[in-house]
Chain A
Amino acid sequence: MAVLELTNISKHFGAIQAVNDVSLSIEPGQVVGLMGDNGAGKSTLVKMIAGNFRPSHGNMQLDGRELVLHKPAEARQHGIEIVHQDLALCNNLTAAANVYLGRELRRGVGPFRILDYAAMYKRAGQLFAELKSETRPRDLVKQMSGGQRQAVAIARTMLSQAKIVLMDEPTAAISVRQVAEVLNLIRHLRDQGIAVVLISHRMPDVFDVADRVIVMRRGRKVADKTIASSSPEEVTGLITGAIEQVA
């Protein structure tokens, strides 16, 4: 059964139709590449799933139940996690502090509760080990490489039982070796049965890691097919509009 199902979703801002009648469904443990040129509606679509915008029309279902989101925090409560393009990290805090930002662990009784540093370091360390990342929980994020920073942002999504992780251009500004690291992190999420939506401009990454590719152009979904049945050339054609639409 699909973990996330969108039916006839549209979003307009005044006269501008950003997303137009898009339907799609995503299975657990599936990596879906979401591609399209700038302004194709990828971000708007993702922001609706993340609770930043509400759809003008259509409906969303999570695990077969209607999903209505008023703000991003609600999306997180439903098990929808986002890795933002800028990663949303605080350089002045440690890796563990960043992983737990906004949902810090505390210990104590009643109103007398203090931060539980030991537990947060321990769990963050486990998550980094699981991700096979050379990231130390006590290090400041300021001193980290691009790949390590990605690991911190991704570890954040693993804190709670996420059902679906949305990743916005995770490989946009990092080195070749780090791209390989990030793709491994994505495979790791997939192996745990988490659905991953990978928004990317980079054709090789999508064809490397995704099971399916969805292409958007001018607010419409113009293709939705398995990676095996498509090719980078076809996807490029779909993105630019050289190929009008495929079933």
Chain B
Amino acid sequence: MAVTLDQTIAQKQHTFMSRLLGSQTFWVVIAVILACLFLSFATDAFATQKNLYNITRNITFVAIVALGMTFVIITGGIDLSVGSVLCLCSMVLAVTMHAGYGIEVGILATILTALVIGAFNGILIAYLGFPPFVVTLGMLSIARSLAMVASNNTVVFQFGPDHDKLLALGGGAWVFGIANPVLYMILLALITGFTLRWTKFGRHIFAIGGNEHAATLTGVPVKQIKVAVYMISALSAGIAGIIETGWLGAVTTNIGTGMELQVIAATVIGGANLAGGVGTAFGAIVGAALIEVIRNSLGLLGINAFWQGTFIGGAILLAVLFDRIRNFRRSD
């Protein structure tokens, strides 16, 4: 019992290794790497430049939206409307540009649409106390319907005078042959990671997810922050919509259908907790990567595509299972 108070306080409780091994994100990264190694040896088509280019680009759309979703999930909320918002935003961009406006106007209109929708969700949730699940479920329906109204449910594939610029924005590879969407994703992930770790706003988001009542009592502007996170989520869907439109070169009203589930899956696989208070930008990207690698590998291994849902669902359950096991051990 000759341990002094200062010694106890100075003693480090977590070493770097123990923290790493205890992190769900770390194990998902291992899973992605192992899957990639396995596929490189098991198939000829995986480790080709073309396939890797496709995989990295495919990750981005889910990953970018998952970054926005991470903010919402950390506060303990959920945004089911992102797939439909992506569709509406793509359609606003397409219709505006098709009508002869330039790409700047199109992007501005898209971003504004996203922010308005996010603010609408956020205000209902934060100020009127609606459950996030219900509000965003309603918006899921509304946004897709508005997209149909805006386009009269047609396919838009001509984007006016700036047609080529838009296609280059989403489909090009301006730096080192890396697909543009991947660059945007990396940039947005860095911004997200920085915001969560180094800003007061980020700290308050975690506080709200941890104990909303405590956050209110200590003077955190809970309501304003909640509105902001839903705006960020919608904005990320809007940005993904712009990029996806440029890449596809056409917009239909079923773009982004069911995407909310993939996005939430990516976030949760990456270590975010739906109960709030936990989540990282890196986790969202890694989660999206695991989903895409599973999808890609099933195709390459010649497994019927119908199995996709089973494998992705299995990955979600497995990721959460690891989390539960860790918690059991801690509570012993």
A residues sitting closer than 8 Å to B (CB atoms) are 72-73, 76, 82, 84, 86-93, 97, 101-104, 106, 114-115, 125, 128-129, 132, 134-136, 138-139, 156
Q: How many A-B residue pairs have CB under 8 A?
A: 76
Also in contact, A93 and B13, with CB within 8 A (given A103-B219, A114-B198, A132-B5)? no
Q: Nearest chain A CB to B18's CB is how many angstroms away?
A: 13
A106 to B213, CA, bound (A): 24
- CB-defined contacts of B197 to chain A, threshold 8 Å: 115
A93 to B213, CA, bound (A): 14
Q: Interface SS of chain B: helix, strand, loop or mixed?
A: helix
Choose one: B9, B198, B206, B220; the contact of A92 (CB below 8 Å): B206
The 28 sampled A-B contact pairs (Cβ below 8 Å) are: A86-B213, A86-B214, A88-B217, A89-B211, A90-B210, A92-B206, A92-B209, A92-B277, A92-B278, A93-B206, A97-B203, A97-B206, A101-B215, A101-B218, A102-B215, A102-B218, A102-B220, A103-B219, A106-B200, A115-B197, A115-B200, A115-B203, A125-B9, A129-B6, A129-B9, A132-B5, A136-B11, A136-B13
Also in contact, A93 and B210, with CB within 8 A (given A114-B198, A115-B200, A115-B203)? yes
B residues sitting closer than 8 Å to A (CB atoms) are 5-6, 8-9, 11, 13, 197-200, 203, 206-207, 209-211, 213-215, 217-220, 277-278
Question: Contact: B219 with A73, CB < 8 Å?
Answer: yes
Q: Nearest chain A CB to B295's CB is how many angstroms away?
A: 32
- CB-defined contacts of A88 to chain B, threshold 8 Å: 211, 213-214, 217-218
Also in contact, A134 and B5, with CB within 8 A (given A88-B214, A115-B198)? yes
From B6, B207, B218, residue with most partner A Cβ within 10 Å: B218
Q: Nearest chain B CB to A236's CB is how many angstroms away?
A: 32
Question: Contact: B219 with A90, CB < 8 Å?
Answer: no
A125 to B10, CA, bound (A): 10
Question: Contact: A101 with B213, CB < 8 Å?
Answer: no
A129 to B197, CA, bound (A): 26
- CB-defined contacts of A104 to chain B, threshold 8 Å: 200, 203
Question: Contact: A134 with B218, CB < 8 Å?
Answer: no
Question: Contact: B200 with A90, CB < 8 Å?
Answer: no
- CB-defined contacts of B199 to chain A, threshold 8 Å: 114-115
A106 to B204, CA, bound (A): 14
A134 to B197, CA, bound (A): 26
Q: Nearest chain A CB to B215's CB is how many angstroms away?
A: 7
